[in-house]
Amino acid sequence: MILVYVAEGQALVWSAEDARRLRELHSLCGSPVGSLARQPRQNSRLGLPLRLLPEEASLLAERGLGVLVRAHGPEDAEPGREEKHRQLLEHLHSEQRQLALEEKREILQGLSERIRQGRQKKYAQKHQQDTGSEAADEVPPGPLKELEDLEQTFTFPLENTLTQIHTACPQPRQLTVLDWRVASADWPYPGERAHSLRYCVFKDLHAKGYRLTSGGKFGGDFLVYPGDPMRFHAHFIAICIPYKKGLPLQDIVTAGRLGSNVKKTVLLCSVREDETVVYTSLRWRGIQ
């Protein structure tokens, strides 16, 4: 069962395994909205959590493949979690510093002879320049001073510590199951006419084998793909309108021009009283 965490109308999937199952088994794509740990300031490639459209979350719940839950807030968290987290970071930092120190010592020991020869050469050149004599005392053998002082001079900043990034909550939390058919403060969509229209269209297109994402960037409700959006371009821009409701001519022209400019067919989608979906496609004449 896939857990969909709901808060303030947002449906989020935090588990990497659940996100994979959604895409591979259930043809539901969602959109990653989390920043990457190594690249927190870029927005071209994002990570977990995966944000689902309200229609995607509703479809999961209706088919029994997932459940909408609300996790208890920070006030219900386990006491002392921050102190435990700080202690864990200090322990990880201490272990990793010791490993990095040993690695640095091994590198210096392997290069010690080359370092000693290089210093001897520089010392001899300087002695010749100062005295005009080629004779010079050799650099005394033995461990390098850098190796002797390595414990005190070696630095390993705390921010360089490697830590595990959880793709699911590592601590058990109390969850409240939400009924996807009942409106609430966290799930306000049931009963909304616009959502009911969009959901009927989404469910019908999904049943026909298409994959859908948000169509906001192209002025529609959904972008409709023949397969995985990572492999295909969208073929359609779906715009949901109430059945038998008039549509201003300028809106039709605008949608048609937008579709032709981005090389996609515009679908005007309506739902009859018996919940069957009617599609009308818009395409400029002569556009191939």
Active site residues: 225, 233, 264
The Cα-based distances of 94 to 55, 157, 160, 260 in angstroms read 48, 11, 12, 60
Report d(CA 24, CA 50) in Å as an integer: 14
193-207 vs 54-62: helix crossing angle, rounded to 10: 70
Beta bridge pairs of residue 236: 224, 265
Place of tokens 């609430």: 184
Whether omega for the bond prior to residue 172 falls within 30 degrees of 0, making it cis, is: no
Instruction: Give residue 164's identity as a one-letter amino acid code.
Output: Q
- Residue 277: what are its φ and ψ, rounded to 5°? -100, 135
CB 11 within 8 A of CB 5: yes
